[in-house]
Structure 1
Amino acid sequence: MPVKGFPSPTTVATRLVWPMAALILLILLLSGSVFWWMSRTLDQAAMQDERARVTLALNDLRQHTLERLRAFATTLAEAKVSRPPVDPVGTAAILTSENKSLTRQWAIFLLDTDNSVLFGSVGGRVAGQHDFDARQVIFDAVARDVRQKEISELPLHAGTAVTSGATRIVHDGWSAYVVAATTISNESPHIVVGASELDARALAEIAGPLGLQELRLTASNGPHRGGAIAVDDATDRGPAFLVWQSSLPSALINSQALTAIGAIALLTLAFAAGILLHVRGQLIELNRRQEQVQRLAGHDSLSGLPNRLLFGMRLDQELARIKRSDEGLAVMFLDLDRFKDVNDTYGHEAGDMLIRIVARRLSNLLRGADTLARFGGDEFAIIQTDVKDPRDAEALARRILDALTMPCEVPGGSVTIGVSIGVALSPRNGTERETLMRLADTALYQAKNGGRNRYSFFERQMDEALRLRKVVEDDLRAAILADELELHYQPQYKANGEEIVGVEALVRWPHPQHGMIPPQQFIAIAEERGLIIPLGEWVLRKACEDAKRWPGLRIAVNVSPIQFRQRDFVSSVMTIIETADIDPTRVELEVTEGVVMDDADAAEDAMMELRARGVRLALDDFGTGYSSLIYLRRFAFDKIKIDRSFLESMETTGESAILVHSVVHLGRALGLTVTAEGVETSEQHRFLQALGCHELQGYLFSKPVPADAIDRLLGIEPGKSRTDAVA
């Protein structure tokens, strides 16, 4: 059945015939015009190239003729036989012998100022005035040229032996000649003229290297397929031309073009006929595919479920329907727990299989009127219809938890996942699509923060909490930019509890409206909203600035795993340290196991580079997670810090005391500094000191205090440094 709005296949085929015929004719005309223009352009370019090459060859021949004539004139000048008075015997001997070394077609004459022949040679034999007179017409112009040139250049070459020369290609009505004339020297009034006939052999020698055909002299430049160059007229018989037969590319192109155009025309006609024959079937297929595209546009290709677009349309339809009845509905947003771990461990093929398994299990839990959609990744959504009581939605949520916590068989093994579910009810929570989807997402956020693998129904306080988090985020961003945060420092003592060896920097936020906001509240928001990078840089920068007041003390700064994953983390740290102008060995970065567990290779590279620059590294909260001897041996730690939780239970449980004892001895065996934090009683102090713990930190010695309080602990007066106080 055709898609609405599409014409029938027969109608379309008929409408295509005449436009296609006109298009084919236009293509042929355009193709012919293009080929004609291309061939003409190529012919013109080829003829210009041939003309340039012939001109260059003739110029080379003229120059060669002049150079040979000058060589002969130089011989006369050196023999001093042509200076007044002329030595007839010597000049004749030189003229005759030298001319014999030239081609036998040459004619050479030694002329006086009135063009009278003093001596001459034609083809190697001695020639006289009558021989010159027979050829004078070809020598007049070049002799005149050289004498005028000699007069014009005389002031420039006064006192120097310089010759003037001229050369031309002329014709006498029957033949073309290369003629040249040159002075013997500026001390002699005589000139030497010479001519070489451009006969068929000479023209062939020119044409051969140039690849020309039929280079010849002609009296007219009539129509011919080739090039032509005018030759100077030495008589009054009219112009003459050197012409040749050009090898024009158009001849080959036109023959090929006609064949190609004919082939194109036949192929085009055949192609057009094929199109017209198949157009009806293609249009039928197009209608079918259009229906398929309309269906796929609203479905997820991997799971076959409706996508976000179709989910929104279905939700609008259901909301419009329940407005006319007493029914309700539930919108559920689902986020799979540990799906990323499956992808990372077993590969994307396993992840795709898991998505299809989840889609199948969820579909089996729903009724025909319900809608299950996949938004992408590990996110699903459900419209549960006919919800008369919130307990209906709760029952479905429980069934979903039970179904998705069952093991799934994927390529590579069996996996177990969980799911977090956020639920919003209509009409209780809202009657608009955008509102319900936003509230379901808010409830999902609460479920994930509550421990995952659970469901949460939207409650008004969730929206308020989300709004407050946004306010805190905006205020924190502004506080970082305005430098409104503060650092407090908790001293770290030697085991004797008497000497301060370092301080740990702890950020504080005195909010102008809400007072002091605990770090555990805004640090999590900073990590979630991308503010941990500027916050961490602010803390390190401020700590390094304060450290200049306390020479000799180490400054410990906590670093988030998110910071450590930044490509420019090391360069950023070193830039801050160098700007503060403090020794990098005084800076100690405290990291948790999350840094090394997320990307061990990248973490190791960064740690090695930091240590190479002198920065110290401490493993914080040691013993609370998956800390192992492998981590301590592989990564470049300088210190381990025993978590305060062990000290809190040490006095009541023997296991904690044994564990602390083991950690201290392990650290010492590996050559690491061992610091215990959270020391609050004298008994803890004495126990840790007896175990060999290197450093202690806790409320027994000092709580975190502002920088001014550290000054007082060190006995530093305001405005001075520790070095000044000691001095």
Structure 2
Amino acid sequence: MSEEQRTGWIVGATFAALLALSAALMAAFNHSVHVADAFTRKDEREMVDRYLEGRVRTVIIGQTGQLVWDETMRHAVARTDTNWMDRELGMFPWTNQGAQETMLVEPDGTLVRGWRQGHYDPAYPYGPLRWQVEAALDLARSNRRISGAMARFERRGGTLWPVDRRGAPLTRWASSLIWRGGRPMLLTVAAIVPDRDYALLKAEPRYLVSLRVMDSQVLRALGADLLLPDFRFVSRAPRDPALNILARKSADGRPVGYFVWTAQLPGPAIWQAAAPLLATWIFLFLAVLAGGVMIVRRMRDTTRHLQASEAQAQYNALHDPMSGLANRLYFAERLRGELDIVIAQRAQGGQGDVFVAYIDLDAFKTVNDTMGHHVGDELVTQVAQRLRDGLLRTDLIARFGGDEFVVMRRTTGGLGAANALGRQVVGLMAEPFIISGHSLGVTCSCGISWGPGQTEDADELLRRADISLYRAKQGGRARYRCYTNGMEATERLARELELELRRAIAADELEAHFQPIVDLSTWQIEGFEALLRWPHPQRGDIGPGVFVPIAEQCGLMVPLGTWMLRRVFTQCRNWPACDLSINLSPIQIMAHGFVETIQSLVEETGISPRRVILEVTEGVMLDRSDNVAQSLRTLQGMGFRIALDDFGIGYSSLSYLRSFQFDRIKIDRSFVQNIEADHDAQSILGAIVALGQTLRMKVVAEGVETELQRRLVHAAGCELVQGHLFWPALPADQACALLTRNAADRMRQVI
């Protein structure tokens, strides 16, 4: 064979070898890419599955207040208290936990009562849903999902029930995705158990069933947490190879649907980067080497990316997105863990407690409603930063939502340490917040409990801190309270008063009293201020300072204000000529349809609007949307007069008086009470009166109790006064009789 032939064979063999090697390398490379894509898809599915499991646990933890509670056992298991259940198992999950539908069912799946959007539905469509609920009940009985650390099983009335090491019954639960009304929904089933009186669990209890819509908004939020922008739920699995799919089955194992998202695969990027190298067969070996290096690097980058995505999703699941603080789920887990550690240390002779401070901002709703949600959000952010900067680095700070913050601290000292924590928290809010050019003096209230000194149960520890917070807010602003055993009775009293106030409004058991307003130039009655009174048939007279805060907290201010307007309009429409002043709550004014409500009351009662003066506080005028000012101008156009009440103590600004023409200014009683000994108060009073006269507004001083106060108020130029020096607030018949006598005296003076 010639040299040329030999060279040709060598070249051909080399070419064939290189071609075969290239094909083998390409096949191996392609297989590696598919393997990497497959691992990536698997990791994504596991990440999504763990995250969804965590979100369902969050839902169950959020319902702990209703599920683990003696009152629920008494009112919804031992007996069927429909009013109680409609509020606590119907309305509360709808307004506070996002449950579109809730049901109370027997252990065999029989429906006891059903609610839709918080309201009882006597025709609740339970039939098509029952087999889903029964399947979930069977799954719950398997004890695969238990809320809390189970220590053992105990027999309770023929049923083996999971309990913790203290013997406290634990909630067993299950969840399932279903289709209802053409929409995917999350169905959760959880057993109701007692929190203190364990003897209430005599047999298998009833279960609370909740339905939450998995709509596009919820799915977008889940996708944002998972960093998967096109995350969605479909009934049929798509065939697009670019998508990753996680199947979901109902509690009885039937297919329900699929979570679908675009898989973040490394394969396309790897091919794009390595294809030019692999295509250049002349530099085959260098290309293989470089491609291998790039493959390894890409795979490492992809792994790091997946790890970072999973870490971010885990962080988002445990932290509040607005403030960056821990959320309720993370705080609850840490609190249980810290309590267990302290209990174990105490068993070995150690000391210390876990302190929980429940914090709520004072008047946050007013700021949020009047100045805009963007100001409220910025206030929450600044409060979170103050807590971070001012508390100990070892403290765990969490935001439970809205304006609720919680602090956990491990230390020794019992009540003394609790007081120190309370003073520190309240002191951090002493300085005003500067937001959008406004100086906001927003304080906070705080309730504190600690364990295991007071209780070894984490949920009970939070509940007691919440009760203490309620007591602190009852006492006024900018204060804290530490939990004591007597607070339970106070909380029960507040709940009883809420129910009794609802009944009192419905049964027309409230009263309107009237305090005369006197013209100092003539000593005649110029008008009356209508004041709300509650003569309770068993508890006696209950003052507005007690029941008005309860009405504000439980959503009764609008019906309470409407009742007051109707009563005053009806009682006073035929009185002799006089002015009638009525206070309006900020919640009333900002309620939807407020002006229309007053229009209908005028038509219903026949009152002349020109006789009525509507009093508003300065805080209402902070509404930057101009809605409040427009409503007040509409009322003025109807003939009502508008008075600015409590002038000088809130967010006073001359711009309010310039931008809105008030008919009257009412000077707050704090200036009048200090006027006898405080020369500054006298000067301020004179300045306010001069300001009102300049702007052609009448000025009323309230709270005149002594003759010296009357003289000083009169000397300052004030025309109209009211107070106990003249008359207290009188029932309607006495006020009308007084007005009639006053009119007769005035007529005799004229004659």
State the TM-score bracket (shorter-chain normalisation).
Answer: 0.5 to 0.7
Q: CA deviation at 1:526?
A: 1.8
Q: CA deviation at 1:696?
A: 3.7
Match of 2:389 in 1: 361
Match of 1:311 in 2: 331
Q: CA deviation at 1:454?
A: 5.2
Q: 1:295 to 1:461 in 2, by over 3 A?
A: same
2:497 to 453, 456, 472: 472
Task: Look up the equivalent residue of 1:570 and give its one-letter code.
Answer: V
Q: CA deviation at 1:598?
A: 4.4
Q: CA deviation at 1:543?
A: 0.6
**What SS does structure 1 have at the residue aligned with 2:567?**
helix
Match of 1:602 in 2: 627
Q: 1:543 to 1:331 in 2, by over 3 A?
A: same
Task: Look up the equivalent residue of 1:583 and give its one-letter code.
Answer: S
1:482 to 507, 510, 513: 507
Matches within 5 A, 1:564-643: 564-599=589-624, 601-625=626-650, 627-643=652-668
Tell me whether 1:704 sits opposite 2:733 in the alignment: no
1:550 to 558, 575, 600: 575
* Contact 1:350-1:411 at 8 Å conserved across structures: no
* Contact 1:316-1:433 at 8 Å conserved across structures: yes
Tell me whether 1:329 sits opposite 2:354 in the alignment: yes
Tell me whether 1:460 sits opposite 2:485 in the alignment: yes
Match of 1:57 in 2: none
* Contact 1:491-1:504 at 8 Å conserved across structures: yes
Unaligned regions of 5+ residues in structure 2, if any?
1-33, 42-238, 244-262, 272-294
Tell me whether 1:424 sits opposite 2:449 in the alignment: yes
CA distance in 1 between counterparts of 2:705 and 2:438 reads: 49
Q: CA deviation at 1:625?
A: 4.4
Match of 1:525 in 2: 550
CA distance in 1 between counterparts of 2:432 and 2:524 reads: 57
**What SS does structure 2 have at the residue aligned with 1:460?**
coil
Match of 1:227 in 2: none
CA distance in 2 between counterparts of 1:443 and 1:599 reads: 34
* Contact 1:447-1:454 at 8 Å conserved across structures: yes
Tell me whether 1:298 sits opposite 2:318 in the alignment: yes
**What SS does structure 1 have at the residue aligned with 2:628?**
helix
Name the larger-Rg structure. 1
CA distance in 1 between counterparts of 2:577 and 2:525 reads: 10
* Contact 1:422-1:443 at 8 Å conserved across structures: yes
Say how many residue pairs are matched.
458
For residues 432-484 of structure 1, give each alpha carbon's deviation from its aligned partner in whole angstroms, at most 9, with x where no partner exists. Answer: 22211111223334445656555432222333323322222221121111100
**What SS does structure 2 have at the residue aligned with 1:297?**
helix
Q: 1:430 to 1:492 in 2, by over 3 A?
A: same
Q: CA deviation at 1:705?
A: 1.2
For residues 10-62 of structure 1, give each alpha carbon's deviation from its aligned partner in whole angstroms, at most 9, with x where no partner exists. Answer: 69969x9xxxxxxxxxxxxxxxxxxxxxxxxxxxxxxxxxxxxxxxxxxxxxx
Q: CA deviation at 1:516?
A: 0.6
Q: CA deviation at 1:604?
A: 2.1
CA distance in 2 between counterparts of 1:694 and 1:296 reads: 61
Task: Look up the equivalent residue of 1:361 and give its one-letter code.
Answer: D
Matches within 5 A, 1:200-239: none
* Contact 2:36-2:267 at 8 Å conserved across structures: no
1:502 to 527, 550, 553: 527
CA distance in 1 between counterparts of 2:685 and 2:707 reads: 16
CA RMSD of superposed structures (Å): 4.8
Q: CA deviation at 1:317?
A: 2.7
**Identity, % of aligned pairs?**
39
Q: 1:644 to 1:335 in 2, by over 3 A?
A: closer
Q: CA deviation at 1:549?
A: 2.6
* Contact 1:489-1:505 at 8 Å conserved across structures: yes
Unaligned regions of 5+ residues in structure 1, if any?
1-8, 17-263, 717-721
CA distance in 1 between counterparts of 2:266 and 2:701 reads: 89
* Contact 2:583-2:615 at 8 Å conserved across structures: yes
Matches within 5 A, 1:222-301: 289-290=309-310, 293-294=313-314, 296-301=316-321
Q: 1:623 to 1:417 in 2, by over 3 A?
A: closer
Q: 1:480 to 1:323 in 2, by over 3 A?
A: same
Normalised to the residue count of structure 1, the TM-score between the two structures is 0.53
CA distance in 2 between counterparts of 1:13 and 1:542 reads: 73
Matches within 5 A, 1:318-397: 318-326=338-346, 327=351, 328-335=353-360, 354=382, 357-358=385-386, 360-361=388-389, 365-367=392-394, 371-376=396-401, 379-385=404-410, 387=412, 389-395=414-420
* Contact 2:515-2:729 at 8 Å conserved across structures: yes
Task: Look up the equivalent residue of 1:315 and give its one-letter code.
Answer: L
* Contact 2:682-2:716 at 8 Å conserved across structures: no
Q: CA deviation at 1:512?
A: 1.3
* Contact 2:615-2:642 at 8 Å conserved across structures: yes
Q: CA deviation at 1:567?
A: 3.6
* Contact 2:576-2:739 at 8 Å conserved across structures: no
Q: CA deviation at 1:639?
A: 1.9
CA distance in 2 between counterparts of 1:317 and 1:646 reads: 53
CA distance in 1 between counterparts of 2:539 and 2:668 reads: 30
CA distance in 2 between counterparts of 1:415 and 1:647 reads: 26
* Contact 2:618-2:651 at 8 Å conserved across structures: yes
Normalised to the residue count of structure 2, the TM-score between the two structures is 0.51
**What SS does structure 1 have at the residue aligned with 2:355?**
strand
